[in-house]
Chain A
Amino acid sequence: MSALAITGEGSLTGGRPAPGGTDRRRRSSTAGWLLFPSLTLVLAGLILPLALMARTSVAHFDAASPDLVGFTLENYARFFGEPFYLTILARTLLVALSCTAICLVLGVPAAFVISRVESRTLKTALILATIIPLLMGNAVRAAGWMVLLADKGLINSALLSAGLITEPVRILYTGSAVVIGLIAVLLPFMIISLQSVFEGIGDAYEEAAQTMGAPPWTAFFRVTLPLAMPGIFSGCLLCFVLAMNAYATPVLIGGPSFQMMAPKVFEQAIKVYNWPFAATIALVLMAVTLALSVASSLALQKRYGAL
Chain B
Amino acid sequence: MSSILIKDLVKRHGAQVTVDHVSLEIGQGEFIAFLGPSGCGKTTTLRMIAGLTEASAGSIHFDGRDVTRLPPYLRNVGLVFQGYALFPHISVAENVAFGLQMRNVGREEARRRVDEALSLVKLAHLAGRLPKELSGGQQQRVALARAIVYKPEVLLLDEPLSALDAKLRTEVRSELRRLQSALGLTTIFVTHDQDEALSVADRIVVMSAGRVEQVGTPREIYQRPATRFVAEFIGLTNLFPGGLDGHGRFRCEDGECFAVTTTDAPSNASVLAIRPEQVRLVRGVPAPDGESAVEATVEDVVYRGALTEFVVRTASGVKLAAHLQNADFGRDELRPGDRVVASWPADASMLF
A228-256: contact bitstring with B at CB < 8 Å (1 yes, 0 no)? 00000000000000000000000000000
Instruction: Give chain B nearest CB distance to A163 CB in angstroms.
Output: 47
Q: Is B229 on the interface with A (CB-CB < 8 A)?
A: no
Distance A96 CA – B51 CA, assembled complex (angstroms): 44
Question: In the complex, are the beta carbons of A214 and B102 less than 8 A apart?
Answer: yes
Contact residue among B76, B102, B147 (Cβ-Cβ distance under 8 Å from A218) = B102
Question: In the complex, are the beta carbons of A213 and B102 less than 8 A apart?
Answer: yes
Chain B residues within an 8 Å CB radius of A227: 87-89
Chain A residues within an 8 Å CB radius of B89: 226-227, 304
Known: A204-B81, A223-B87, A227-B88. A212 touches B52 (CB 8 A): no
Chain A residues within an 8 Å CB radius of B77: 211
Contact residue among B71, B83, B150, B156 (Cβ-Cβ distance under 8 Å from A212) = B150
Q: Is A208 on the interface with B (CB-CB < 8 A)?
A: yes
Q: Is B72 on the interface with A (CB-CB < 8 A)?
A: yes
Q: Of residues B71, B76, B98, which shows the largest number of chain A Cβ atoms within 10 Å of its Cβ?
A: B98
Instruction: Give chain B nearest CB distance to A181 CB in angstroms.
Output: 37
B41-83: contact bitstring with A at CB < 8 Å (1 yes, 0 no)? 0000000001110000000000000000001110111110101
Distance A212 CA – B78 CA, assembled complex (angstroms): 7
B236-261: contact bitstring with A at CB < 8 Å (1 yes, 0 no)? 00000000000000000000000000
Chain B residues within an 8 Å CB radius of A213: 73, 76, 99, 102-103, 150
Distance A209 CA – B150 CA, assembled complex (angstroms): 13
Contact residue among A204, A215, A223 (Cβ-Cβ distance under 8 Å from B83) = A204
Distance A205 CA – B81 CA, assembled complex (angstroms): 10
Q: Is B313 on the interface with A (CB-CB < 8 A)?
A: no
Distance A204 CA – B146 CA, assembled complex (angstroms): 15
Instruction: Give chain A nearest CB distance to B83 CB in angstroms.
Output: 6
Q: Of residues A209, A216, A219, A226, which shows the largest number of chain B Cβ atoms within 10 Å of its Cβ?
A: A209
Q: Is A210 on the interface with B (CB-CB < 8 A)?
A: yes
Number of interface residues of A (CB under 8 A): 19
Chain A residues within an 8 Å CB radius of B183: none
Distance A226 CA – B89 CA, assembled complex (angstroms): 8
B97-108: contact bitstring with A at CB < 8 Å (1 yes, 0 no)? 011001100000
Question: In the complex, are the beta carbons of A211 and B87 less than 8 A apart?
Answer: no
Q: Is A267 on the interface with B (CB-CB < 8 A)?
A: no
Known: A207-B52, A207-B72, A208-B79. A214 touches B98 (CB 8 A): yes
Chain A residues within an 8 Å CB radius of B79: 207-208, 211
Distance A213 CA – B147 CA, assembled complex (angstroms): 11
Chain B residues within an 8 Å CB radius of A223: 87
Question: In the complex, are the beta carbons of A205 and B102 less than 8 A apart?
Answer: no
Distance A104 CA – B71 CA, assembled complex (angstroms): 29
Distance A304 CA – B90 CA, assembled complex (angstroms): 10
Q: Is B85 on the interface with A (CB-CB < 8 A)?
A: yes
Contact residue among A204, A215, A216, A222 (Cβ-Cβ distance under 8 Å from B85) = A204
Question: In the complex, are the beta carbons of B73 and A215 less than 8 A apart?
Answer: yes
Distance A219 CA – B85 CA, assembled complex (angstroms): 13
Which residue of the partner chain B has the closest CB to A304?
A: B89
Question: In the complex, are the beta carbons of A212 and B88 less than 8 A apart?
Answer: no
Distance A47 CA – B73 CA, assembled complex (angstroms): 56
Question: In the complex, are the beta carbons of A214 and B87 less than 8 A apart?
Answer: no
Instruction: Give chain A nearest CB distance to B300 CB in angstroms.
Output: 13
A57-98: contact bitstring with B at CB < 8 Å (1 yes, 0 no)? 000000000000000000000000000000000000000000
Question: In the complex, are the beta carbons of A205 and B73 less than 8 A apart?
Answer: no
Chain B residues within an 8 Å CB radius of A215: 71, 73
Which residue of the partner chain A has the closest CB to B53?
A: A207
Distance A141 CA – B150 CA, assembled complex (angstroms): 55
Distance A210 CA – B72 CA, assembled complex (angstroms): 6
Which residue of the partner chain A has the closest CB to B166?
A: A2
Instruction: Give chain A nearest CB distance to B74 CB in angstroms.
Output: 8
Chain A residues within an 8 Å CB radius of B83: 204
Q: List 30 A-B contacts (CB under 8 A).
A: A204-B81, A204-B85, A205-B85, A207-B52, A207-B79, A208-B87, A210-B52, A210-B71, A210-B72, A211-B50, A211-B51, A211-B52, A211-B72, A211-B75, A211-B79, A211-B147, A211-B156, A212-B78, A212-B98, A212-B99, A212-B102, A212-B147, A213-B99, A214-B102, A215-B71, A216-B73, A219-B73, A223-B87, A227-B87, A304-B89
What 9 pairs between A and B have smallest CB-CB spacing? Answer: A213-B102, A212-B99, A208-B85, A211-B79, A204-B85, A210-B72, A210-B73, A213-B73, A211-B72
Given A211-B79, A212-B150, 9 more pairs with CB closer than 8 A: A207-B85, A208-B86, A211-B52, A211-B156, A213-B73, A213-B103, A213-B150, A219-B73, A227-B88
